């Protein structure tokens, strides 16, 4: 094979690779749009009247995740199944965003932490790496850390809306989350940096709870929590 023939073959391989990346990019753009629609919907819970419509907003978000599953099915067909990590960077950000949104919906519904397996089911992908297109553990953890920041914001807005018991429940949840992350030996620099931000979320929520205590509203909140139980 001549030098020109060798480089012609290389160009062909590069062209095929570029075609795959372009097809992936199109689907990822559609996923990003759906993620924005879900986020816009859920942001309504931060407003006063939004607390009254949480079940309805969660139900609507669940419907949007149906679109996500369809788009994920399309994404799976755009590249060879054994080359997941070769193209992973193309969808990593939007996948982490979708993990956060799924976790936020589950928290709003039940005030519990969604499992990686449950998120994978919501998104229509696998939890097990050996079964193909899957939810990477680090992507799951990154999405959960974004949830922590969102809940810190929700704690502040809950007080504004006159819901004094919610910040106490959020505080308990975030502290349990922080304890869980402390059990992990994080090697990934990006994930480790994001985890370092969790302490600020914990501090922010603690300040909200402390303010409620100073104002004497924590007693009312505690009574409310007891009543709910």
Binding residues for Mg(2+), as ranges, are 150
Quote the tokens at residue 79.
């590249």
CA–CA separation, 166 and 155 (whole Å):
7
Query: What is the H or E stretch that residue 10 is in?
Result: helix 3-42
Token reading at 198: 């969790």
Instruction: Give the integer Cα–Cα distance in Å for 152 and 154.
Output: 5
Binding residues: 150
- Rounded to whole angstroms, how far apart are CA atoms 108 and 205? 17
The answer for residues whose C-beta is within 8 angstroms of residue 76's C-beta and 6 or more apart is 125, 132, 133
């Amino acid at each position: 094979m001549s030098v020109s023939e060798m480089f012609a073959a290389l160009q062909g391989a590069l062209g095929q690779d570029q075609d795959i990346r372009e097809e992936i990019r199109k689907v990822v753009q559609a996923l990003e749009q759906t993620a924005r629609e879900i986020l816009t919907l859920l942001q309504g819970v931060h407003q006063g009247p939004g607390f009254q419509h949480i079940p309805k907003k969660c139900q609507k978000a669940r419907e949007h995740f149906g679109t996500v599953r369809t788009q994920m099915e399309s994404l799976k067909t755009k590249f060879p199944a054994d080359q997941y990590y070769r193209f992973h960077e193309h969808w990593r950000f939007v996948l982490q965003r979708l993990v956060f949104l799924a976790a936020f919906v589950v928290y709003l519904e039940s005030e519990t932490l969604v499992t990686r397996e449950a998120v994978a089911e919501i998104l229509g992908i696998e939890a097990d790496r050996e079964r193909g297109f899957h939810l990477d553990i680090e992507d799951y953890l990154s999405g959960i850390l974004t949830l922590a920041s969102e809940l810190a914001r929700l704690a502040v807005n809950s007080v504004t809306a006159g819901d004094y018991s919610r910040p106490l429940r959020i505080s308990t949840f975030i502290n349990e989350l922080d304890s869980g992350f402390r059990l992990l030996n994080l090697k990934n620099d990006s994930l480790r940096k994001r985890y370092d931000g969790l302490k600020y979320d914990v501090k922010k929520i603690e300040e909200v709870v402390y303010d409620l205590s100073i104002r004497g509203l924590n007693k009312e909140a505690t009574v409310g929590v007891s009543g709910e139980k």
